[in-house]
């Protein structure tokens, strides 16, 4: 802040104090209101950066410490409640759907539902598409993904 802005604040304080004193306000209160006006006038003169983080130090992201998709999915598992979050459920469901489509099955098609249940386990796909997927359902789905692995299909 430059000296003329400080002078402006002092001028606002003096004008406010003299004006309030002329109206009949007690001198102590007039000085207090004048100082409050000066503070507001000086604060309004502050120049803030357009980007709030512009003056923040730039810390380079260490590649070994940044979050990965695996760590985000791990945080989606809640061992206290035994439920799996939507992020990991979506990912497992997509991989499982891809593996089933490789062998010609669509888990959403009612005609393929019996074969899917035989391969995956009783109503596993229904639990993966339901509201509350448990960690045990995710584990069973990962086991089914391993069983449907393309490497095992080639043997």
Q: What is the mean pLDDT of each run of 10 residues along the chain (155 residues)?
A: 73 84 88 84 72 72 69 84 90 91 88 87 87 90 87 56
pLDDT at 61: 67
**What confidence score (pLDDT) does residue 135 get?**
92
What's the pLDDT at 150? 74
Instruction: Give the pTM.
Output: 0.53
Helices 135-147 & 86-102, crossing angle to 10 degrees? 20
**pLDDT at residue number 1:** 55
Rounded Cα distance, 10 and 12, in Å = 5
**What φ, ψ does residue 65 adopt, rounded to 5°?**
-110, -5
CB 8 within 8 Å of CB 45 = yes
């Amino acid at each position: 802040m430059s000296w003329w802005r400080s002078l402006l604040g002092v001028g606002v304080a003096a004008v406010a104090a003299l004006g309030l004193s002329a109206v009949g306000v007690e001198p102590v209160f007039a000085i207090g209101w004048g100082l409050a006006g000066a503070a507001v006038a000086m604060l309004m003169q502050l120049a803030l950066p357009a980007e709030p983080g512009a003056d923040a130090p730039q810390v380079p992201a260490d590649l070994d410490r940044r979050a990965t998709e695996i760590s985000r999915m791990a945080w989606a598992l809640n061992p206290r409640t035994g439920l799996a979050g939507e992020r990991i459920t979506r990912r497992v469901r997509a991989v499982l759907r891809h593996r089933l489509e490789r062998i010609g099955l669509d888990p959403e098609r009612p005609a393929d539902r019996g074969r899917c249940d035989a391969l995956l386990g009783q109503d596993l796909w229904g639990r993966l598409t339901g509201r509350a997927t448990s960690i045990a359902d995710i584990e069973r789905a990962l086991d089914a993904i391993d069983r449907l692995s393309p490497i095992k299909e080639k043997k």
